Structures are given as C-alpha cells and as structure tokens.
Structure 1
Amino acid sequence: METLASLNEPPTTAALKVLVIDDNKAHAEGLAELLQLAGFDASHVLTGSDGIEKARRDAPDAVLLDMNLPDMNGFEVCRRLRRDPKTAHIAIVFHTAQGSVPGSRHEADAFLTYPVAMSEVYSVIRGSVERRRSSRKLNF
C-alpha cells in the first residue's frame, strides 16, 4: 500500500509536463492531481481530439492515454500524435483497466493495466520520457 510520502516522492528529473487523456472525468482529474503531488506538471482533457490539440499547443513531455475515448480510440490518438512532427517526440503511455495490448504494436512507449501502483506510473512515465530524449539525441 502506498503512503502519502510515496505518492509525493519527487521526480528524479526536472518537472515533466504530462497530459492525461481520459474520458472518465474523475479518473482524469485524480491522475492529474496525483501526478502534480508527485512533482509533475500535469493537466487533463476528456477527448482524443482535445488531447491532440492540447499536445500540439502545449508540447508535453508525455501523454498518459486511455484506450477508450468518446470520439476515437487511444490507438488513433497515438497514431495521429506520432504522424505529426509537432508531437512525434512525445512519450505515450497507454493506460486501461482492460487486458493488455502490446504498446509497441501501436507506437506507444509503454502500456499500463490498472490497478497499478502510482509509483509504477511515475517510473514508467519518467523512463519513457528519458528513452525518447536519449533516442532523439542519438538521431541528431
């Protein structure tokens, strides 16, 4: 069981900007709040199209992406983010309460199935962002 101290453990890197895209308002708000408590710069939206627009505008380091959205599924959001030069660099972490689907098959950096400890969510986000950053450095 996580304690308040473990929920509030600071990130090992500078505050990472994370966009939560989840159609369940309570879940999206809760995830964003827990991420903020842990030192992330987190925001949330409730639809895929709003997520794509916000990602283009705000350039987050990572997107925590739900599979089921009202206007399109998470795979479509991921595909559109990867095809856009403004958002192709963003780390994408799928999250769902459903059975797992290999994230790499859908161009995601990671895939989380709930229930999951928030410390694992923080770790997966940080690791995914660091891998993306390292990969970009190697490609220049």
Structure 2
Amino acid sequence: MAGPFATTVMHLSTGSVETVTDLTAGCEQFLTDASGGRDGLLSVFAPHTTAGIAVIETGAGTEEDLLSTLHHLLPADDRWCHASHAHDRPGHGRDHVVPALVPPHATFPVVAGRLAIGSWQSICLVDTNPANSERQVRLSFLG
C-alpha cells in the first residue's frame, strides 16, 4: 500500500508559443500510482515565475479565450517595469504578473484515489513565456 504522502515532478516542453497544457491525465496517473485508492488531497504546483495553474474546460476554445483575456488585461508592450530587453521581446514583464491572476498552485480533493473535479474541469498549466519552454509541475498527494 502506498504511504500517506507521495510526490513527483512532471517535466513538460511547452514549445515556442504561449500555451495552455492539460495536465489532468498526468494527475490521474500519478494518483493511480500514489494514492492507494485513499481519499486525500492533490497539490499541483508550478515552480515558475511566469506560469500558473488553471481549472478550465478544455477543447472548446477556452484555452484561446484565456490567453486572449490575459493579453487584454496584460498587454505585451513596453509599459512594464521588469526589463524585457534581456529576453528580446517586448512586454516580458507581463509574464511575471500572470501568476498573480493565474496562481502557480491549486489543491484538489481526491476520493477513493480519483480526482473529484467536475465533468468539464481540467487542470492546466498556463505558460505565457515562450522563452522558457522547459517546465516542471510538482504533484503531491496527501492521504
């Protein structure tokens, strides 16, 4: 039987454009291996200053809507104090504000070893910094 605490790190390559990456299947696989069928909590954490964790419906255009909304709220231009010249693209400072709106963490209930989320909910990594395409997401189960 699995112990009361388990953790792993998912390694992702998000590519050269802003992305919303569905992590739900990876979370479910981790729970199959780690939960021992127990109730508990799943913590999902992205240790990056330019990425966050969102719970959204995927596959119906919501990913593009979310990225568009972030662009509307946080335009990629020269208004940001955080220097963008080191990253060779204007507006990189906005990427560092994204985690204030899309936090880098979320916690989910686990019932009988399975995610207890809504039918249309998916757990996603929101990455607005294509200059850093190698990402990690830490999954931790406490049960």
When normalised by structure 1's length, the TM-score is 0.25
**Which structure has the larger Rg?**
2
Structure number with the bigger relative contact order (C-alpha 8 A, sep ≥ 6) is: 2
Higher strand share: 2
When normalised by structure 2's length, the TM-score is 0.25
Higher helix share: 1
